[in-house]
Amino acid sequence: MPACFFVTDLHGDAARYGKLFAAMERERPAAVFLGGDLLPGGFGLATMAPGHRDFVNDFLAPGLRRIRSTLGAQAPRVFAILGNDDPRIEEAAVRAAAAGADPVWEYVHDRRVDFGRHAVYGYACVPPSPFACKDWERYDVSRYVDPGAVSPEEGMRTVPVSESEARWSTIQGDLQALAGAHDQSNAIWLFHAPPYDTPLDRAPLDGVCVEHVPLDVHVGSIAIRRFIEARQPRVTLHGHVHESARLTGRWRVQLGRTWAFGGAHDGPELALVRFDPDDPGAATRELV
Chain centre to alpha carbon of residue 37:
7
| Ordered structural domains, the chain, with CATH | 4-287 (3.60.21.10)
Q: Is residue 249 left, alpha or beta, with left meaning phi > 0 and alpha meaning psi from -120 to 50? A: left
Q: Buried (b) or exposed (e) across 224-247, using 16+ Cβ within 10 A?
A: bbbbbeebebbbbbbbbbbebbee
Contacts of residue 111, Cβ cutoff 8 Å, sequence gap at least 6: 121, 122, 178
CB 48 within 8 A of CB 156: no
Q: What pLDDT shows up at residue 248?
A: 98
Q: What is the pLDDT along the chain (288 residues), one digit of tens a residue?
A: 679 999 999 999 999 999 999 999 999 999 999 999 999 975 444 444 444 468 999 999 999 999 999 999 999 999 999 999 999 999 999 999 999 888 999 999 999 999 999 999 999 999 999 999 999 999 999 999 999 999 999 999 999 999 999 999 999 999 999 999 999 999 999 999 999 999 999 999 999 999 999 999 999 999 999 999 999 999 999 999 999 999 999 999 999 999 999 999 999 999 999 999 999 999 999 999
Contacts of residue 258, Cβ cutoff 8 Å, sequence gap at least 6: 228, 232, 233, 234, 235, 236
